[in-house]
Amino acid sequence: MASEEKTKRLSWMAVGIVVMVLAIDQIIKVCVKTNLCLHDSVHVTDWFYISFVENNGMAYGMTIVPKLALSLFRIAAVALIGWYICRLIKQQARTLYIALMALIMAGAAGNIFDSMFYGLVFSESTPYQVAQWAPFGEGYGDFLKGRVVDMFYFPIIETDLPECIPFWGGEHFIFFSPVFNFADAAISTGVVALLLFCRKELATISLFSKQEKKDNEDEELND
């Protein structure tokens, strides 16, 4: 009974993290997209801006593979992580490990949501016009072709480099220039925390429980 209760508790925790991250991520993105023109920037502090940009690529605006292929890869990755989390819950793995995996899954799912639906339900964002809600299927793009909304910009250090520095002397320097969103932050936080606090689990990562491995080995021997 205690084992079943723990499994339920871990399940609800993982679901809660995913739902919470997705909700916060989407609320922020919708508010930004429906209130700012593309490339608008709101100065919050000297080192923090809300700066609305969109991208077709990966986290922090990177573009490496075509949009459709990236979207399909993201969906497959989220499905695999979700399946792995279910295995971890069944094995009653460490709570922190499950929580961080759920955080990473939620972040990846948040950006997938943009790709899947934003092109269908929003009009085009431009530097001169704020996006509007559109009838479903009449937005700016097709399914899986939506652009990911980014908004957090932290130019913590912005200065001109001294002339004495070889090659880059005199150039304008910004420490941490990427613009990102809440989903990106969830992924990055989860990955860093895994590396710091769950190295044992990462070193012994397994998609199957020991009992499942034993059962598979027994089946192979019987065959």
Closest CA to 52 of 26, 33, 25: 33
Q: Is 218 an annotated catalytic residue?
A: no
d(CA 144, CA 139) in angstroms, rounded, equals 12
The three-point CA angle 49-54-57 to 5° equals 120
Candidate list 25, 160, 184, 215, residue with the active-site label: 184
Task: Count CA atoms within 13 Å of residue 121 on its CB side.
Answer: 9
Candidate list 150, 160, 218, 223, residue with the active-site label: 150
d(CA 76, CA 70) in angstroms, rounded, equals 10
d(CA 116, CA 122) in angstroms, rounded, equals 12
Q: Is 215 an annotated catalytic residue?
A: no
| 200 C-beta neighbours (distance < 10 Å), count | 9
Question: Would you please indicate which residues are annotated as catalytic (active-site) residues?
Answer: 150, 184
